[in-house]
Amino acid sequence: MVGAGPAGCVAATILARSGARVRILDRAIFPRDKLCGDTVNPGTVAILKRLQLAASLDACGLPIEGMRISGENGVVVEGRYPDGTIGRAVLRRHFDWMLLQDAIASGAQFEPGVPVRRAIVDNGRVKGVALDRGCELRADVTIAADGRRSALAFGLGLAAHPTRPRRWAMGTYFEEPTHASTLGEMHVRGGHYVGVAPVPGGLTNVCLVREWHVGDSPLGPSAAIAEALASDALLRDRFRDARMVTTPTALGPLAVDIAGTPPDGLLLAGDAAGFIDPMNGDGLRFAIRGAELSAGAALDALAHGWDGVHRRLAQSRRREFAAKWRFNRTVRSLVASRPAVAIAAAGARFAPSVLRHAMVYAGDCA
């Protein structure tokens, strides 16, 4: 297993529980920070409970009862998740650490601080990974869960950054003593959006996602976030006296396209299997449910060989995610168009129930 993020740890846990010998490699030392909106939507919470993972999430995560969405013309719509369903807000360093501990407790071996350089390919099949100083690690199944800059997926020519969208994410934490909420927030503007969420410790997570191209303003993350907040009629007063308590970080370009089928011996999971951006807050569900599907494919390959494994996995992913992929593409196209944002905001003013239903769908409440 290459990568100890949520996808890698969930897949590793499932495999280890099924009796497979699992070794997790990651270049980072855990716990580690990760740029993220820090929210786990209700659908993801339900999957974790079904898999009996991250048992302390309810105790250490703040409840998220719904979403507040605003548009450029001042329209604000709030939607609560149905039937008392809630998501959770938790720092990614803590969330990832919970899942890693589950994997280790299930019998997986973890080796931190180990960068993986490339896949070992022999006669068209991946036989393991190459590490530093000429070291190799051989395996019957290799799962690339090493994120949106996957050394394995990019190294094999399976992954590429598309020309569009070319969005970058920038995030930091504020002390915001005058505001407390149990809602996640998404403030959609033409060309960018700002996600806001309460997190444990009395902090507020602020993430800016915007288009960024060569020749654009060379603003760093700190200045870009400050500019976005100061120029926003809904957010400027709220954050005028809020104190930024962490150095902002940036990540991009976000989008990753996957073309072609991985060679036998290799499976992709998490962001390494394709990534757009976190617009709808459902990235963790794609990662965790996708990891569950990849773990099932790995067990299939170990038991019966590789014939048809990739085809069946692709079919499973389409059944699971195709409708949500279409929904997310529609929302992202809307955000990229200032006129479309204005039209959607006007529609929300007269038919807010439509947007509330969309919030429920985005939260995977079903």
| pLDDT value of position 195 | 94
String of DSSP letters for 133-170: GG-EEE-S-EEE---TT-HHHHHTT-EE--SS--EEEE
Structural domain spans, the chain: 6-62+89-162+254-335, 167-253+339-362
Tens-place pLDDT, residues 41-84 = 999 999 999 999 999 999 999 999 998 888 877 778 888 898 88
For the chain, percent of residues with pLDDT exceeding 90: 66
| pLDDT value of position 104 | 98
Tens-place pLDDT, residues 116-157 = 999 999 999 999 999 998 899 999 999 999 999 999 999 999
Helix (H, G, I), strand (E, B) or coil at 189: strand
Asked whether the beta carbons of 71 and 188 are under 8 A apart, the reply is: yes
Distance CA 34, CA 278 (A): 13
Asked whether the beta carbons of 89 and 184 are under 8 A apart, the reply is: yes
The highest-confidence range among 31-35, 108-112, 164-168, 234-238, by mean pLDDT, is 108-112
| pLDDT value of position 291 | 97
- For residue 292, give every residue at least 6 positions away whose Cβ sits within 8 Å of its Cβ, in sequence order, or none: 10, 11, 14, 47, 51
Using the predicted structure, report yes or no on whether residue 336 has a pLDDT greater than 60.
no
Nearest to 179 by CA among 218, 124, 237, 227: 237
Own/partner pairs, 271-276, CB within 8 angstroms, 24+ separation: 271/5, 271/7, 271/147, 271/148, 271/150, 272/3, 272/7, 272/144, 272/145, 272/146, 272/147, 272/148, 272/150, 272/152, 272/153, 272/159, 273/153, 273/317, 274/159, 275/148, 276/165, 276/328, 276/329, 276/332
Asked whether the beta carbons of 185 and 178 are under 8 A apart, the reply is: no
Amino acid identity of residue 4, one-letter, is A
Lowest mean pLDDT across 56-65, 103-112, 346-355: 346-355
Asked whether the beta carbons of 184 and 280 are under 8 A apart, the reply is: no
Between 175 and 340, the more confident residue is 175
| pLDDT value of position 348 | 58
CATH code of the domain occupying 167-253+339-362: 3.30.70.2450
Angle at 323 between CA 169 and CA 191, to 5 degrees: 30
Other beta carbons less than 10 A from residue 46's beta carbon: 16
Average pLDDT, the chain: 89
Using the predicted structure, report yes or no on whether residue 278 has a pLDDT greater than 60.
yes
The two structure tokens encoding residue 46: 């339900």
Q: Matching CATH topology for 6-62+89-162+254-335 and 167-253+339-362?
A: no
Q: 6-62+89-162+254-335: what fold?
A: FAD/NAD(P)-binding domain (3.50.50)
pLDDT grade, residue 212 (50/70/90)?
confident
What end-to-end distance do the CA atoms of the chain give, in Å? 30
Between 160 and 211, the more confident residue is 160
| pLDDT value of position 78 | 84
Using the predicted structure, report yes or no on whether residue 214 has a pLDDT greater than 60.
no
Show the DSSP H helices in 305-337 as ranges. 309-335
Asked whether the beta carbons of 194 and 229 are under 8 A apart, the reply is: yes
The two structure tokens encoding residue 297: 């494919």
Using the predicted structure, report yes or no on whether residue 164 has a pLDDT greater than 70.
yes
Lowest mean pLDDT across 126-130, 208-212, 230-234: 208-212
